[in-house]
Amino acid sequence: MKKQYIIPIFVPHLGCPNDCIFCNQKSISGQKKNMTKEEAKEIIDNYLENIKNENAQIEIAFFGGSFTAIDVNKQEELLELAYEYVKNEKVESIRISTRPDSIDKETLKRLKKYKVKTIELGVQSANDYILRRSNRGHTFEDVKKASKLIKWYGFKLGHQMMVGLPESTRIDEINTAKALIKLKPKMVRIYPVLVVKNTKLEEEYKEGKYEPLPLVQAVETCKQLVAMFVKKKIDVIRVGLQNTDEITNPDKKTSEVIAGPYHPAFRQLVESSLWYDAIVAKIKKLNVKVKEVEVTVNPTDSNSVIGHKKGNVLKLKDTYDVDLILKQDENIKPGKSKIEITKIYHDFLEE
């Protein structure tokens, strides 16, 4: 199987007509100045030099800002550069991320010309009040229109949504996931809101008008959302912002994050919690007192089954007095498992 690699090129805030309450693209991307063709080329060449895998499936991704809102000449300059690598078969595809109100037929035709494969839309919420409250500058109707058009032109559609926006509740976030599922994206990203320096949200937070989600609550909500998307076979390609020198623990000097549910292994917390629920559900189905459970998974899932800092092992022991034994099997697909009860209390007493 081919291993996927993404070459990220951040095009920060460039051309973005908006100032979303939570956004400081320059902090989030770590990119302080605008992207030039020369810089983009350097980034791509550096990545390519370091990817040694012969079976690599490489994609150039223009993240951040609103790619299709930037000056058309700049778009073409960056796309032309990326397309050269596709033509030379050094890279397989191109992806961009943008705002839903920066998509129209003409834009999509341009992206087609340069063989862009995937378009990710920043949706954030399906609730127009919450979108307005966060100063998104578009409605959910824009998301629907853009999503349909993107699919109609044959691109792969991706959505990005947020958890913990001002005045958004878990119900709103579940409703957003339901609304997105109806639009049939191929993939989604879920971002819990962090309070980043030099944003309007920072002001609101300092004035006591915005309270970020506690970590436990953010994990719980994301867990529900991930389960909903997975059930509909939609890839959840990211949960939580990528850790960088800037997006890191608020206690660190270099951190641009002031508050919010930051965790270096946020996705793992969510996945571990899903595994924990699956194991407990299996135990509860049986009408016996379980003493030991054996979970066999693909090696890639091992850490999530065990939990961050063995969290699941300890919680099962503390809550149910159950020992968790982990087994790995390459033949089991990632995300799938075999859960067997290997000892019940009766056996244990007889030992």
Q: What does the binding site for ligand SF4 look like in residue numbers (CB under 6 A)?
A: 13, 16, 18-20, 23, 25, 65-66, 99, 122
Minimum CB distance to ligand SF4 smaller for 65 or for 166: 65
* CA distance linking residue 293 with residue 283, whole number of Å: 8
- Closest approach, Cβ 56 to ligand SF4, in A, equals 29
Minimum CB distance to ligand SF4 smaller for 100 or for 307: 100
Cβ atoms 147, 195 nearer than 8 A = no
* CA distance linking residue 324 with residue 315, whole number of Å: 10
- Closest approach, Cβ 188 to ligand SF4, in A, equals 16
- Closest approach, Cβ 86 to ligand SF4, in A, equals 25
User: Residue 141 is encoded by which pair of tokens?
Assistant: 């109707």
What does 211-278 look like in DSSP terms, one character per residue? Answer: -PPPHHHHHHHHHHHHHHHHHTT-EEEEESPPP-SSSS-TTSTT--EEESS--TTHHHHHHHHHHHHH
- Closest approach, Cβ 65 to ligand SF4, in A, equals 5
Minimum CB distance to ligand SF4 smaller for 202 or for 301: 202
- Closest approach, Cβ 19 to ligand SF4, in A, equals 5
Minimum CB distance to ligand SF4 smaller for 11 or for 274: 11
- Closest approach, Cβ 302 to ligand SF4, in A, equals 35
Closest CA to 168 of 199, 195, 128, 207: 128
Residue ranges of alpha helices (H) inside the chain are: 25-29, 37-50, 72-87, 105-113, 128-133, 140-152, 170-182, 200-206, 215-231, 266-285, 302-306, 311-320, 345-350
Minimum CB distance to ligand SF4 smaller for 160 or for 304: 160
- Closest approach, Cβ 224 to ligand SF4, in A, equals 24
Minimum CB distance to ligand SF4 smaller for 136 or for 315: 136
Minimum CB distance to ligand SF4 smaller for 65 or for 307: 65
* CA distance linking residue 338 with residue 330, whole number of Å: 12
Nearest 5°: phi and psi at 157?
-100, 135
Please list the residues that pair with 8 across neighbouring strands. Answer: 61
